[in-house]
Amino acid sequence: MNKKKVLGKIIKTPDNPLGYTFDKLENNNSNSNYCVRFTVPEFTSICPVTSQPDFATLVIDYVPKTWLLESKSLKIFIQSFRNYGIFHEDVTILIGKYILKQAKPNWLRVAGFFAPRGGIPIDVFWQSGKIPKNCFVPEISNFIKKNQMG
Is this model's pTM higher than 0.85 or not? yes
Catalytically annotated residue among 23, 35, 54, 61: 54
Catalytically annotated residue among 15, 23, 35, 47: 47
Average pLDDT score over residue span 30-48: 97
54 assigned to active site: yes
Q: Report how far apart the first and last C-alpha atoms of the chain are (Å, whole number).
A: 41
* Surface-to-core class of residue 104, CB atoms within 10 Å of its CB (0-12 exposed, 13-18 middle, 19+ buried): middle
Characterise 65 by phi-psi region: left (phi > 0), alpha (psi -120 to 50), beta (else): alpha
> Model confidence over 110-138: pLDDT tens digits?
999 999 988 999 999 999 999 999 999 99
47 assigned to active site: yes
State residue 83 phi and psi, 5-degree precision.
-120, 25
Question: Can you list the alpha helix ranges (DSSP code H) found in 1-150?
Answer: 71-79, 88-103, 140-146
Q: Which CATH class is domain 25-148?
A: alpha beta
Domains of the chain, by residue range, sit at 25-148
Give me the chain's average pLDDT, please: 91
> Model confidence over 1-37: pLDDT tens digits?
455 577 777 778 889 999 999 999 999 999 999 999 9
